[in-house]
Amino acid sequence: MTEISHLDQVFIKDLLVRGILGINPEERTNRQNIVVNVIMWADTRPAALSDAIADAVNYRTVAKAIIEHVENGEPMLVERLVEEIAALCFETDARIQAVEVSVEKPGALRFARSVGVSIFRSRDEFFLDD
């Protein structure tokens, strides 16, 4: 497993996307708010030294990929979507060594502000599962 203690965090907080997610009939036809949070572990020192975006994990590129994926996908379960987003992060930038992804469905459960799933995956263990 990748040792992340020497790595830095690049994050996207509260990315709000509208998409199809869920098992109920209305969830299969009506888009709903989906909140995505991602923490990506990578070495940011090369970017800090060069001050060049080419040396950085570009959170804008990752966010655009997540938005497109959520808007165009139709998974049944939050568990599937968080795994797909983790894979997308690794595919988007080889510098990302680990990710924590959480997906929330605000208002999906009465009396709860939000429900969701959070996972942590390292690049090493993620690709071992393939």
Residue boundaries of the structural domains of the chain: 8-128
Mean pLDDT of 21-38: 95
Catalytic annotation present for 105:
yes
Q: Which residue has the tokens 């909140």?
A: 35
Question: What whole-number distance in Å separates Cα of residue 25 and Cα of residue 7?
Answer: 43
Whether the predicted pLDDT of 129 surpasses 70: no
Whether the predicted pLDDT of 1 surpasses 60: no
pTM: 0.92
Mean pLDDT of 52-79: 97
Please enumerate, as own/partner, the contacts of 50-56 that have beta carbons within 8 Å and a separation of 24 or more.
Answer: 56/10
**pLDDT value, residue 73:** 94
The active-site residue, picked from 105, 108, 122, 123, is 105
The confidence band for 126, taking pLDDT boundaries of 50, 70 and 90, is confident
CATH T-level assignment (fold) for domain 8-128: GTP Cyclohydrolase I, domain 2 (3.30.1130)
Strands 114-122, 8-19: pairing kind? unpaired
